[in-house]
Structure 1
Amino acid sequence: MASNSAAEIIDAVGGPENVASLTHCATRLRFQLHDGDKADKSKAEAIPGVMGAVPQAGDRFQVVIGGGVQNVYNEIMALPVMAGVGAGGGGAAAAGGGADSDADIKARERSKGPRGTNAWLDSLFEFLSDSFRPILGALLGASLFITFMALMATLGVIPAWNAPGVTLEPSWAFVNLMWQCVFVFLPLMVAYNASAKIGADPWVGFAIMAVLMLPGFAGLATGVDKTPLFGFEQAQVAIVQVWGLPMPIADYSSQVFPPLLMAAVLGPLYKLLRRIIPENLQLIFVPFLAMLIMIPLTAFLIGPIGVYVGAGLASALAAINTFSPFIFAIVIPLAYPFMVPLGLHWPINAIMLLNIQTLGYDFIQGPMGAWNFACFGATAGVLFLAWREKDKDMKQTATGALAAGLLGGISEPSLYGIHLRYKRIYPRMLVGCLTGGLIIGIGSLVLGLKNGITTQAFVFTSLLTIPAFNPIGLYSLAVIAAFAVAMILVILSGYKTPEQAGATAVAAAAAGPGTVARDADEAASVSNVAGGSELLPGAAAAGAATAVATKAPGATAEVGALLQLAAPIDGTAIALDQVPDPVFAGGVMGPGVAIEPSGDTVYSPGAGTVAAAQPTGHAFGLQLDNGIELLIHVGIDTVNLKGEGFDVKVKTGDRIEAGTPLVTFDRAVIEKAGYPLVTPVIVLNADAFDTVDPVKLGPVTHGDPLLDVQQKA
């Protein structure tokens, strides 16, 4: 993304003076704004390279970029106007002033669920997600080490590496330590991130949790038998007397709920101490008093409660899976497509980790793989169509998303960059999820698998981690089927609605090589009105030249028939090469004719649907019932008038008949601004026809024959 695009993003969020702080995650820029109402969603989405933009509660605003977000973030922060604006991760923001500046949203339709409408709920899931997000890279790396060990065991190179009593030779034992380091000390990583997110010193949170991880702390329970905490077999603790009080000693390795609860209490305490302690004494006494209070509180109460809560949630899911692995295998992949956009999957991830730590295996990740691979399959279907349609921008988006999915098990680029923008994808993807879930469920019944498909490690469900699942054959069959079904359904049905396809073509046609930048607002408005189709103005000429015909329902023209297109406006028809714009004159957007208007009203030349109506009034895309996709562009460079002098009569999606007024314009306003009034009339899908020829040149009245369009024989 060029630096001018970075400046455009800042302009779209209300300018640098409206940015309180800026952070980023794996795919998104996350703005904390002073006034969220000043951010322009449409303007942001029109910027090349921006996949989407979503306002949030609490003056937060997210701009979805994709895998190159780090570069875009660096370009934005390098802008001179951004000097002095708060930046960095949650830790920096929190330590600096305690303000909650991180924003998290998992889909633009989040507002349909509980998040976005309740600020406290939004903040809760931000807290959960931001506690894990920074360590996803470490978890992903560790998961590949686990997969490698599982593969070596499957091939007989090493014994069952994680079975009780198995001792590996030092070389392989060292490899095993490469993933254990992440999971054993996971509570410390979570404590750091969660403390930073909640507004406390992250290193203080780290230190508090580190006490419970010390060998000396576990050593307090030497010789003391462990008992189930409140009856939960998964929560084994040893009770020792400290200062005359019973202290439960548990194994906190891989635990995530204790550090989350600890940070949730530490944050308010830290803010309280900052208020009551003089500023010149805070550096010493705020951390000291926080540790003095929180270490005993965490050891005696918060830590055991976290163990208990995690064990309770894990036991509930285990009970469902034990009752019916078949039902569980179907519900999980069907629920995840809705849980992930809402951020509801983060607690489930914590339970997966707890299952592995307490049970020695997890039963959730197998069915979850069916969802992930259905998601990736849908992306593969979009990529296939993009290659076939020569859609350069979608090819780039889908290729990156598919690589992130199949190699890393990361669904975000697919979900946010494609699936939630094109609503036709979700139903097809759900069929893939159901297919994979049914195979797992039925296979579990046939093979007598008490717990369904299991894995003994927390892994990201990608191609590389398939060997970590047992039985590998059933899991492979399920994920391949989920992938294939979703991909085939998307290829067969397409992923764009007719309105989205038309809007994409018109937006591309409306911007020539010299007008790409100034037509960004136009492309954004088409995107919004047409239902959120992905418009990247930089693909203007290519998009117009390769527009694909989509015959409207009810089309009655016979193969080889001659279709006549009527003039949409009174005036004088001239050859297209006389238009004072090289893009139109060169036929880059397609063949047609132009009219020097004598009237002031543009009419529909036939019956059909408005595929895209520019709110500026200067361009219209029509999907006619006879299969012709038409662009009517009123004047040259008239987009710069921003609607002044235009009175638009229709909107995108409207049904039109021959003679329906589309727009009335004020000739004086356009002529005073110095813009030519010549109006190109372009057939965008000319490849679907044998010929497109002018009927005649010279004076015409709206409704007169203008173009002969010959159907292919």
Structure 2
Amino acid sequence: MASNSAADIVDAVGGPGNIASLTHCATRLRFQLRDGEKADKDRAEAIPGVLGAVPQAGDRFQVVIGGGVQTVYNDIMALPVMAGGGGAAEAGSGESDADIKARERAKGPRGTNAWLDTLFEFLSDSFRPILGALLGASLFITFMALAATLGWIPAWNAPGVVLPPSWAFVNLMWQCVFIFLPLMVAYNASQKIGADPWVGFAIMAVTMLPGFTALGKTDDAVQTTFLGSNITTVQVFGMPLTIFDYSSQVFPPLLMAAVLGLVYKGLKKVIPENIQLIFVPFISMLVMIPLTAFLIGPIGVYAGAALANALSAINTFSPFIFAIVIPLAYPFMVPLGLHWPINAIMLLNIQTLGYDFIQGPMGAWNFACFGATAGVLVLAWREKDKQMRQTATGALAAGLLGGISEPSLYGIHLRYKRIYPRMLVGCLTGGLIIGIGSLVLGLKNGITTQAFVFTSLLTIPAFDPIGLYLIAVAGAFVVAMMLVIVSGYKNPEPAAAGAGAPAAGAAGRVSDEAQAVSGVAGGGELLPGGAGTAAAGTATAVATAAHGEAPDVGALIQVASPLDGTAVALDQVPDPVFAGGVMGPGVAIEPTGDTVYAPGAGVVVAAQPTGHAFGLQLDNGAEVLIHVGIDTVNLKGEGFDVKVKNGDRVETGTPLVTFDRAVIEKAGYPLITPVIVLNGDTFDTVDPATLGPVSHGQALLDVQKKS
């Protein structure tokens, strides 16, 4: 990506002064912004090389790049305006990451599920920096599996097998990652939680020292049974210390870091600043090393084992059901970050069972995802859509070669709702093949793998039986791809309403859109995208017959003003969803009166009981949203006297609602009222007929039908 594109990304998120911090994962730039409303999603997605943009709670904003994210990150950080670390430095604030996070939390809740966002972010950032190492190690494992399949070496991971020195050395190339994985996770998780990452590393390292495991081999060691498992304990300071092999464990370091964060922050509050450098790490280690060894470590081991056993019980009960559920669940788990705990269970399965049974069905989901992307790529080539062709090519390469689904998900699938149902059919196909194949072949655990790998083309040899896995992922890929190619991925343009009453399908689409997007802004009120629920179509036909017939193709229709007041450009609305035109084109009115009237003859599709928004489908085909004020949904109907209900027939000038200006102004909500043509994409132009003083019934918008 060129440096000018890097600068465009910075501008799209509100400029360097709006960037509190910037990190990146395997595919995405992760911005912590000072004001999330300044970020422009549409502008970011229009930048060459950007696969998608994802606004998040807490003024966070993600820009999906794909496999080249590191280069883009470096380009951004190399920009002169980012000198000194970005916006914080430029603004001269000198804030640390901890200061930034504290300030952001001080703003209040980040949404209805802020704690859930924080949990998933903690899990994601604990693994994110080591994804490259995990991917590299998985390819070494695949190479070893392929060598064993071809007979070059004996079963490399079977108990008691001794490999020749050369192959033993190759084997060490992946073991270095997985054996010391707890230390890597401890470092990342401690850093994420705000503690010294090297202190977290050191605490976890104690449990992995040869001397720690040697304690279980002393004469004082006792073999006991706990929860059905044979464990080794030894008395230390009069207390039983459980000796585990913590290699590859991930739950203990995650729990340790969570507790360490609380201890660390507590100590910094009570220890004077001038001696914190010495005593905060010392006391943290003094408290946390015994706590981790005696309590947190064993809890983490057993918690992980309990989750793993629960999934294993489901798989043992019915590998057929398990093989179907996993591929169908993953498309919804990955966007939410719920797959991170499952990844940890995969690692635990390999350590305790010697194999994992989750990754096989997961491969069906991944290849269905990549197949859908391939279908989009084929259509983009046909349609000569250069931007989508570039997006799909990058996403498909990241998937097939790296097993990474995020570029496909965020860059394409979540942007076009037609893709997901077709992709799910591909997931179901792959799952059925695995489930039926397991029954036919008598596989008690379904498809398994003896290593943690990213499900890509390169890692297919790591699965057993390889033939069944290959057929399953190929089926998932081909079915998803063909369904997308046959049906298309873009949402079909709505047909214009017929003469007289509006078509039921159009009305239903308006209502669906409203439900899908309601609450985008204004604390859950009906807004762009959710406008469907409040969508209101209004237009007075200039070139129609007196009987309300639809105007001829190419004719001019007009939307009348529903209010007395002053018409202003839509970008004057103090709400980014309306001002950015996300809902559609239109204008806004600063009202001088207190009544909203129907802007044309038609049917009320959505009349909100709170009175703050109305959606109308007009006889001439225009669908209009009238949104009375901003954030007025919070009044819960106070100050609004609604005159109509859903399904009512209205004529131009029919009163829709009367509002009490004093109530709205006292509550501090802006009275400016957007008037939006929701189906503006079906017209050639939607332009203001007038700006300035306007009376209800006067022409407000000129709408040109497509020729």
Match of 1:465 among 456, 459, 467: 459
Q: Map of 1:369-388 to 2, 5 A cutoff?
A: 369-388=363-382
Residue matched to 2:44: 44
Is it true that 1:368 corresponds to 2:362 in the alignment? yes
Alignment equivalent of 1:148, drawn from 139, 143, 146: 143
Letter in 2 for 1:215: P
**TM-score, length basis structure 1:** 0.69
Which residue does 2:232 correspond to in 1? 238
Secondary structure at the residue paired with 1:374?
helix
Task: Give the deviation of 1:154 after TM superposition.
Answer: 0.9
Tell me if 1:445 matches 2:445.
Answer: no
TM-score, normalised relative to structure 2? 0.69
Q: How does 1:27-66 map to 2 (within 5 A)?
A: 27-66=27-66
Name the counterpart of 1:290.
284
Does the CA-based 8 Å contact 2:51-2:407 persist in structure 1?
no
Distance across 1 between alignment mates of 2:679 and 2:706: 18
**Aligned counterpart, 1:701:** none
Q: How far is 1:290 from its partner?
A: 1.0
- State the match for 1:192 in structure 2: 187
Q: Report which stretch shifted further, 472-481 or 218-227.
A: 218-227
Q: Is the 8 A contact 2:391 2:411 kept in 1?
A: yes
Q: Contact 1:190 / 1:260 at 8 angstroms: preserved in 2? A: yes
SS of equivalent to 1:32: strand
Alignment partner of 1:432 out of 399, 415, 426 = 426
What SS does the corresponding residue of 1:318 show, helix, strand or coil? Answer: helix
Matched, 1:652 2:679: yes
SS of residue in 2 equivalent to 1:162: coil
Q: How does 1:192-271 map to 2 (within 5 A)?
A: 192-223=187-218, 230-233=226-229, 236-271=230-265
Percent identity over paired residues: 77
For 1:454 and 1:226, the matched residues in 2 are separated by 35
Verify: 1:24 aligned to 2:24, yes or no.
yes
Judged with a 3 Å threshold, the aligned counterparts in structure 2 of structure 1 residues 60 and 316 are, in CA distance, closer, same or farther, namely same
d(CA) in 2 for partners of 1:661 and 1:367? Answer: 49
Distance 2:495 2:155 in 1: 53
Residues in 1 aligned to 2:152 and 2:243: alpha-carbon distance in whole angstroms: 38
Q: Partners of 1:501 and 1:116 in 2: how far apart?
A: 37
Q: Aligned-pair distance for 1:663?
A: 4.0
Counterpart-to-counterpart distance in 1, 2:439 and 2:425: 21
For 1:413, the equivalent position in structure 2 comes to 407
Once residues 611 and 482 of structure 1 are traced to their aligned partners in structure 2, the CA distance between those partners, rounded to angstroms, is: 39
Q: 1:500 to 1:193 in 2, by over 3 A?
A: farther
CA RMSD for the aligned pairs?
A: 3.8
Cα distance in 2, alignment partners of residues 438 and 661 from structure 1: 49
CA contact (8 A) 1:94 1:199 kept: no
* Shift in Å, 1:10: 3.0
Aligned to 1:358: 352
The amino acid across from 1:476 in the alignment is L
- Once the two structures are TM-superposed, the CA of residue 228 in structure 1 deviates from its matched residue by 6.8
Matched letter for residue 258 of structure 2: A
SS in 2 for 1:420: helix
Q: CA deviation at 1:170?
A: 0.9
Q: Secondary structure at the match of 1:457?
A: coil
Residues 322, 682 of structure 1: alpha-carbon distance in 2 compared, 3 angstrom cutoff: closer
Does the 8 A contact of 1:530 with 1:653 survive in 2? no
> Which whole-Å deviations, capped at 9, do the CAs of 1:600-631 have from their partners, x for residues lacking one?
xxxxxxx9978999xxxxxxxxxxxxxxxxxx
1:277 matches 2:277: no
Cα separation, partners in 2 of 1:649 and 1:144, compared to 1, 3 Å: closer
**Residue 331 of structure 1: CA displacement?**
0.4
Q: Residue 497 of structure 1 aligns to a residue in which SS? A: coil
Deviation at 1:479, TM superposition (A): 0.6
Q: Distance in 2 between matches of 1:501 and 1:161?
A: 62
- Cα distance in structure 1, aligned partners of 2:10 and 2:156: 52
Shift, 1:249, TM fit? 0.6
Task: Check the 8 A contact 2:183/2:205 in 1, yes or no.
Answer: yes
- Provide the secondary structure at the position in 2 that maps to 1:166: coil
What SS does the corresponding residue of 2:216 show, helix, strand or coil? coil
2:111 is equivalent to residue 120 of structure 1: no
What number of residue pairs does the alignment pair up? 538
Q: Cα offset for 1:276?
A: 1.6
Distance between the aligned counterparts of 1:449 and 1:280, measured in 2? 63
Question: Counterpart of 1:313 in 2: which secondary structure?
Answer: helix
Q: Which residue does the alignment assign to 1:182?
A: 177
Distance in 2 (alpha carbons) for counterparts of 1:87 and 1:663:
37
Shift of 1:330: 0.5
Q: Distance in 2 between matches of 1:120 and 1:133?
A: 19
Question: How far did residue 163 of structure 1 move?
Answer: 0.8
State the Cα deviation string for residues 440-496 of structure 1 (Å, max 9, x = none). Answer: 111111111111111111011111111111111111111110011000100000000
Cα gap change, 1:5 to 1:177, in 2 (>3 Å)? closer
CA-CA distance at 1:81 after TM superposition: 3.0
What amino acid maps onto 1:155 in structure 2? L
Letter in 2 for 1:280: N
Contact kept? 1:94, 1:201, Cα under 8 Å: no
Change (3 A) 1:655 1:389: closer
Alpha-carbon contact 1:610-1:655 (below 8 Å) kept:
no
1:334 pairs with 2:328 = yes
SS in 2 for 1:330: helix
| Aligned CA distance change for structure 1 residues 3 and 682 (closer, same or farther; 3 Å) | farther
Which amino acid is 1:434 matched to? L
Residue identity opposite 2:80 in structure 1:
P
For 1:602, the equivalent position in structure 2 comes to none
Task: Tell me the distance in 2 between the aligned counterparts of 1:211 and 1:98.
Answer: 31
Secondary structure, counterpart of 1:213 in structure 2: coil
Q: How far apart in 2 are the matches of 1:500 and 1:386?
A: 21
Q: Which residue of 2 aligns with 1:586?
A: none
- The aligned amino acid for 1:163 is A
CA 1:462–1:87 in structure 2 vs 1: closer, same or farther (change >3 Å)? farther
Compared CA separation, residues 668 and 261, structure 1 to 2 (3 A): closer
Partner of residue 157, structure 1: 152
Matching of residues 609-688 of structure 1 within 5 Å: 650-652=677-679, 662-666=686-690
**Secondary structure of the corresponding residue to residue 217 of structure 2:** coil
How far is 1:59 from its partner? 2.3
> Which residue identity does 2:44 align to in structure 1?
A
Cα 1:284/1:329, change in 2 over 3 Å: same
Q: 1:612, 1:653 within 8 Å by CA — same for their partners in 2?
A: no
In structure 2, distance between residues paired with 1:94 and 1:428: 47
Assess if the C-alpha contact under 8 Å between 1:339 and 1:345 holds in 2: yes
C-alpha spacing 1:227/1:469, structure 2 compared with 1 (3 Å): farther
Residue pair 2:324, 2:431 contacting (<8 A) in 1 also: yes
Contact 1:649 / 1:663 at 8 angstroms: preserved in 2?
A: no
CA contact (8 A) 1:27 1:66 kept: yes
Write the distance in 1 (CA, Å) between the matches of 2:10 and 2:681: 35
Q: Is the 8 A contact 1:56 1:116 kept in 2?
A: no
What is aligned with 2:131? 136
User: Secondary structure, in 3 states, of the residue corresponding to 2:161?
Assistant: coil
Distance in 1 (CA, whole Å) between partners of 2:620 and 2:68 is 41
* CA deviation string 1:633-690 (max 9, x = no partner): xxxxxxxxxxxxxx9873326888xxx9954535999xxxxxxxxx99997xxxxxxx
Structure 1: where are the runs of 5+ without partners?
A: 104-113, 503-527, 533-563, 571-606, 614-646, 670-678, 684-713
Shift of 1:23: 1.4
CA gap 1:442/1:680 in 2 versus in 1, 3 angstroms:
closer
User: What one-letter code is carried by the residue in structure 2 that aligns with 1:45?
Assistant: E
Per-residue CA deviations over 1:230-251 (Å, capped at 9, x if unaligned) read 3143xx5310011111100100
- For 1:69, the aligned partner's letter is V
Matched-pair contact (CA < 8 Å) for 1:145–1:179: yes
Distance in 1 of aligned mates of 2:418 and 2:475: 20
- Measured in 2, the distance between the counterparts of 1:422 and 1:681 equals 26
